[in-house]
Amino acid sequence: MKTIAPFISIFFFSLLFSCTAKTAEKTESKNAKIIAEEKPAVDSSRFDIKKYNERRIKEGHYDFEFTENGKNIRQRYSLPKRDSPDSDGEYAEEISKKWNPFVIRKKYDYKGQLRRWSTTFRQESINKSYEYDENGKIIKITNYEEKFKHSFVDIREFLLKTKGIDIYDTRQAIARRVNHRYEDPTQVYYDIYVLDKKDEKNDYRIVIFDDTLQITEYRNKNKSK
């Protein structure tokens, strides 16, 4: 029988730190899906350095956020490491939507040429990431789902059906996939922190194991239900 140490106090602290305020705004359609974008063999996307520099001067620093066309965008410039052959640093861009856990992350070289494209579920890499050479040709693809039996898509559909909880809406739940025991795939699980709309004291935790979809709830000081 699978067991798991709850460590609720640590877990709650880390998640509450990242939780946003709960509101009564409408959630996105429950039929929404993660669409894994298949990148073309060659991608000529470029970072607009001129616009970035204009915003940088206006903001007064190299790391800033703004909203454009309904999207939250974060842009920044990173100096190279001392031992890096690229002495001109790199640009990074993160694109997300309010109350949505998905983030598209892009990295560009000092010329503004796309070098890496990936998607994360909050901070966790999902689907596939793509790396490019200086000509925009794909040189590496990493599949982050191949080691798992169920994806975030599966877990979302499972929870919508069994609990009416939508993990695509961060006002309802904060989810993560715990995979630090790859040597034992039966111990990989999804950790979901469910937010109560009326009283945060009623917030609780759900654990779903990846291999069996076995579900366990933790409420009131680790009492499982």
Q: What is the mean pLDDT of residues 118-143?
A: 92
pLDDT computed for residue 89 by the predictor: 87
d(CA 140, CA 186): 29
pLDDT computed for residue 130 by the predictor: 94
11: number of Cβ within 10 Å? 15
Query: Is the model's pTM score more than 0.85?
Result: no
- In this model, does residue 87 exceed pLDDT 70? no
pLDDT in tens, 109-128: 999 999 999 999 998 999 99
Out of 17-21, 79-83, 181-185, the most confident range is 79-83
Region of residue 112 (phi > 0: left; psi between -120 and 50: alpha; otherwise: beta): left
86: number of Cβ within 10 Å? 11
pLDDT in tens, 142-183: 999 988 999 999 999 999 999 999 999 999 999 999 987 666
Band of pLDDT at residue 27, cut at 50, 70 and 90: very low
Out of 85-94, 102-111, 172-181, the most confident range is 102-111
First-to-last alpha carbon distance for the chain, in angstroms, is 16
Band of pLDDT at residue 13, cut at 50, 70 and 90: very low
Domain residue spans of the chain: 8-22+151-224, 49-143
